[in-house]
Chains A and B, each alone.
Chain A
Amino acid sequence: MTETAAAAFVRSRGKMESRYRRRVFSDLVVRVIGYAVFAFMIGLLLLIVGDVALRGLAGISFGMFVTVGNTSSGGLANAIAGTWELVGTGLVFALPVGVFGALYLSEYSTRNTGGVLRLFVDILTSIPSIVLGLFGYLVLVIELNMGYSLLAGGLTLGVMMIPYIMRISEISYSNVPREMREAAFALGANSMQLSFSLLLRQARTGIMTAVLLAVSIAAGETAQLMYTALFNNDYTSSLTHQPVAYLTYVIWYSLNQPTQYAHALAYSAALILVASIFFLLLLSKYVERGR
């Protein structure tokens, strides 16, 4: 800085001080907005969860967890079991496709093929679940003759889970430091060996987070299951040609019933679902922090 510029800079101290006041004020404004948004979000969450918890807890009983029900009487055991059977079936399909798709995107794809695949996957995320349900109905239930079933419902959920698992896993793979990849290549590894001996191992917490997120989203789906799993008043023991019960259906259907018991059942189902998803999200945060 030249002598005159430095002198001029020091001379404008008065101007600086008025600027300081403005800067402190604008900082305060942004801080207040931040706190307000924070309070609004917390309030909204408490309102929803609180409402579900209060009404749900009132009707919940141990019997609900062990007896099957038909949405207006009985318990929720078949719906709880069915929900996790459907999500589990979806995961068996979505996990390998997502994890290996992500490996392809991160290690093998060219700029063009990777771009096209990412675009498709992103479009898949934005397809409304009712459309996926319709696809599941026409292709799996009718065309492939699976009937309303665990397999049809699970696969449709799986299609929805793939993009979450693939994109989050891809980020985890690309977070593996370049130095580590170079070290593996310098020892004579090829891309496949790099993927299996290093990337999968390094990205496992990321993949776990992706899986938990996809599972929580899938567990809350209704529309696509109404077309593919229908509902079952009992447990489901077959992969095909036997409908499946699930919690979101109980919530949707029981609330439209004219009995108090059905309403209580709906809120209990909602509470169980929200609590399970909440637990899964907490678990995914815990897993993420453990990395």
Chain B
Amino acid sequence: MSVVIETRNLNVNSGSQQILSNVSLAVAGSAINTIVGPSGSGKSTLIRTFNRLTDLYPRLRVGGEVLFHGKSVRDYNVMELRRRIGLVFQKPNPFPMSVYDNVAFGPRLHLSLKKAEIDTLVEESLRHAGLYDEMSGNLDKNALELSGGQQQRLCIARALAVQPEVLMMDEPTSSLDPIAKSKIEDLMLLLKEEYTVVLVTHDIDQANRVSDTVKLLYNGRMVEYESPEVLRMPEYEHARQFVMKLAR
């Protein structure tokens, strides 16, 4: 599999607090690359270095290298980088506007498109996110009136509308009920056919269900870097303890 994103000796600190220490990893194309770890282990910070969302927080110091297609993310135009590496957040965060305007928000930032072109983009993105059948004819509805699961799929559609290559999902199901959660997991399996997916989760079972590769982050360090099976048979003491705790 081709490597899409790679980090080399990535260090992130906020003041005197070390958030990530010497993290080196590779994200494989057209696969679900899962990063698991307990809360506070630095998972969210890690993926935010990929699209330079860490730039928004001047206190965060990023050292080492993050490469996207072999080129440092610093050498990309940040708007272009973020268009190509999309992010879905832990809590659904639709904009307080219509379903249509939410999905059209991204495309409108990058291109001046005709109404018909935006219509097509919105429809395709909603279809990709498995929301079109529920929402067609209701695109004017305020996004904040949707259920939590629908809001999260809308956020996925919004991220897909700018035609990214990588879709990062930061614990996308942690605030959802089991049914909404399984819909999103099914969606991830479909999405990996077309996109490189980076999934961050603290749900070991979810990681087992959907992942192609799993990386375990613990206290800002990468302690496992194997197939999902390793979560069942961890060799490292920290990882074993963590997995045992979560499996209970």
Query: Which of B82, B89, B105 interacts with A179 by CB under 8 Å?
Result: B89
Q: Compute how far the CA of A186 lies from the CA of B53 in the bound complex, rounded to whole angstroms.
A: 7
Nearest chain-A residue to B82 (Cβ)?
A188
The answer on a CB contact under 8 Å between B162 and A187 is yes
Within 8 A of A (CB), among B64-111: 79-83, 86-87, 89, 91, 93, 95-97, 105-106, 108-110
Contact of A188 among B79, B91, B97, B155 (CB under 8 A): B79
A22 to B62, CA, bound (A): 56
Complex CA distance for A179 and B144, rounded to whole angstroms: 14
**Which of B53, B82, B96, B108 contacts A202, CB < 8 Å?**
B96
A177 to B155, CA, bound (A): 16
**Per-residue contact bits, chain A 135-155, to B (CB 8 Å; 1 contact, 0 not):** 000000000000000000000
What is the count of residue pairs linking A and B with beta-carbon distances less than 8 angstroms?
56
Contact present for B109 and A197 (CB under 8 Å): yes
Name the contact of A197 in the complex, choosing from B87, B89, B108 (C-beta under 8 A): B108
Could you show 29 A-B contacts with beta carbons less than 8 Å apart?
A: A179-B89, A179-B93, A180-B93, A180-B95, A181-B56, A182-B56, A183-B155, A183-B158, A184-B95, A184-B105, A186-B51, A186-B82, A186-B87, A186-B89, A186-B159, A187-B83, A187-B86, A187-B106, A188-B80, A188-B82, A188-B106, A188-B110, A188-B162, A190-B79, A193-B109, A197-B105, A197-B109, A201-B97, A202-B96
A187 to B89, CA, bound (A): 12
**Alpha-carbon distance between A180 and B89 when the two chains are bound, in angstroms:** 10
Report B151 CB to chain A, min CB distance, Å. 12
Tell me the residues in window 149-198 of chain B with beta carbons closer than 8 Å to chain A beta carbons: 155, 158-159, 162
Tell me the minimal C-beta distance from B92 to chain A in angstroms: 9
Supply 14 further A-B pairs (C-beta < 8 A) apart from A184-B95, A186-B82, A186-B89.
A179-B93, A183-B155, A185-B56, A187-B86, A187-B105, A187-B106, A187-B159, A188-B79, A188-B81, A188-B83, A188-B106, A188-B109, A189-B79, A189-B109
Q: How far is the CB of A149 from chain B (nearest CB, A)?
A: 43
- When chains A and B are docked, how far (Å) is the Cα of A189 from the Cα of B93? 16
Please report the C-alpha to C-alpha distance between residue A251 and residue B120 in the assembled complex, in whole angstroms: 63
- Pair A182/B106 contact, Cβ less than 8 Å: no
B209 CB, nearest partner CB in chain A, Å: 26
Per the bound structure, the CA–CA distance linking A197 and B105 in Å amounts to 8
What is the size, in residues, of chain B's interface with A at 8 Å between Cβ atoms?
25
Which residues from B are CB-within-8-Å of A187?
Answer: 82-83, 86, 105-106, 109, 158-159, 162
Alpha-carbon separation in the docked complex, A185 to B105 (Å): 11
How many of chain A's residues touch chain B, expressed as a range? 10 to 19
Interface string of A187-222 (1 = CB under 8 A from B): 111100100011001100000000000000000000
Does B105 contact A182, Cβ atoms closer than 8 Å?
no
The answer to whether A198 touches B53 (Cβ under 8 A) is no
Please list the residues of chain A having a beta carbon within 8 angstroms of any beta carbon in chain B.
177, 179-190, 193, 197-198, 201-202
Contacts of B105 in A (CB 8 A): 184, 187, 197
Bound CA–CA A188/B91 (angstroms): 19
B48 to chain A, nearest CB (A): 9
Q: Scan residues 8-60 of chain B and give those whose CB is less than 8 A from a CB of chain A.
A: 51, 53, 56
In the complex, residue of chain B having the shortest beta-carbon distance to the beta carbon of A193:
B109
Q: Is the CB of A182 within 8 A of B89?
A: yes
The docked-state distance in angstroms from the alpha carbon of A207 to that of B89 is: 29
Residue of B nearest to A197 (CB): B105
Tell me, rounded to whole Å, the shortest Cβ–Cβ distance linking B60 to chain A.
13
Q: Provide the residues of chain A in CB contact with B82, threshold 8 Å.
A: 185-188
Give chain A nearest CB distance to B121 CB in angstroms: 13
A contact residues around B95 at 8 Å (CB): 180, 183-184, 198
Residue among B97, B105, B155 with most chain A CB within 10 A:
B105
CA distance A210 to B51 in the complex (A): 37
On chain A, the residues within 8 Å of B106 by CB distance are 187-188
Contact of B89 among A183, A188, A190, A198 (CB under 8 A): A183
A202 to chain B: which residues have CB within 8 Å? 96
Q: Chain A residues with Cβ under 8 A from B159's Cβ?
A: 186-187
Residue of A nearest to B168 (CB): A186
Question: Nearest chain B CB to A126's CB is how many angstroms away?
Answer: 32
- Top 3 A-B pairs ranked by shortest CB distance? A188-B83, A187-B106, A179-B93
Chain B window 205-230, contacts with chain A (Cβ cutoff 8 Å), 1 for yes, 0 for no: 00000000000000000000000000
A182 vs B168: C-alpha distance when bound (angstroms): 14
Kindly state the separation between the CA atoms of A184 and B108 in the bound complex, as whole angstroms: 12
Given contacts A180-B93, A180-B95, A193-B109, whether A185 and B83 have CB atoms under 8 Å apart is no
